[in-house]
Amino acid sequence: MNTEKLLNSYYKWLKDNTVTEHDHETGWSLISTPFTGMFNDMIEVYIKVVGDRILFSDDGVTVNNLETIGINISKSPSRRRIFDSILVNFGVSFNGLELQADCVLKEFPKRKHLFLEALIGINDMFMLSKENVASVFKDDVEEYLIELGIIYTKDFKFAGVSGIDFNFDFLIAGRNTEKVLRAINYLNKTTLTTFLYAWDDIIITRKRVSKKDVSAIAVVNNEERNIKPEYLDALKIKKADYILWSERKSDENIQKLKEAA
């Protein structure tokens, strides 16, 4: 097998499947690449020669596509960190609307390649690792509380009767009541048991310390998978309430949170 021939055939395929268009009025040129984005469409790069430099832009398409599928960069600290790290890695900037870069003419091949890599990386943000998704879901729950105007304390630790400290994602404290919340991105037997054990262990000590009526709510992400009914039944049996993320805007669920605030 001749590796050189294989590479040449790849370069030919790459060139044959790259389409360019030039707008004489604006001076911008479109490069439609054979690489696909999140909607299985072709990733496009816009370039413009200004003096001895070349400007690069995505025309705002990349971030707009993310927002179309519900990924809002500006409202999620975790997503913003991932987004910013991609920009830094590939030397790309974001002006609030579009992704941009520039270089001198002789650096065009490398800069175009890096810009394209950045677009591919950001397009792939909807496919995050489990750890990142869990962190992002917690940010989404926090944004939900902010939208409802609910005052909360984040990452609150409670001492249980066992002597172990347990962390809950949010505490909503009212004059006579408290609600402890945990954002559960994936409700399975392990995460259910962990949550219920923590809740069962802290309820007595927390009531004694706060002298308030204390309750718990699990905010469960059910948008990508079905939740087993027996898991939700187990929460009720242990006197822990829940909010399914797909139903978070219902009057009933909003009232669950606001009655403590």
d(Cα 62, Cα 90) in Å, to the nearest integer? 15
pLDDT in tens, 224-235: 788 999 999 999
Query: For all residues of the chain together, what is the average pLDDT?
Result: 90
179 has a pLDDT exceeding 90 = yes
d(Cα 211, Cα 207) in Å, to the nearest integer? 5
Domains, the chain, in order of start with CATH, read 3-126 (no CATH), 130-258 (3.40.1350.10)
Enter the pTM of the model.
0.63
199 has a pLDDT exceeding 60 = yes
95 has a pLDDT exceeding 90 = yes
d(Cα 27, Cα 57) in Å, to the nearest integer? 13
- pLDDT value at residue 177: 92
HSE-CB of 236 using CA atoms within 13 angstroms: 6
Q: Which residue has the higher pLDDT, 171 or 1?
A: 171
d(Cα 100, Cα 55) in Å, to the nearest integer? 7
Q: Are strands 240-244 and 213-220 parallel, antiparallel or unpaired?
A: parallel
3-class SS of residue 142: helix
* Closest to 168 in 3D by CA, of 159, 177, 176: 159
pLDDT in tens, 11-29: 899 999 999 999 999 999 9
261 has a pLDDT exceeding 70 = no
78 has a pLDDT exceeding 80 = no
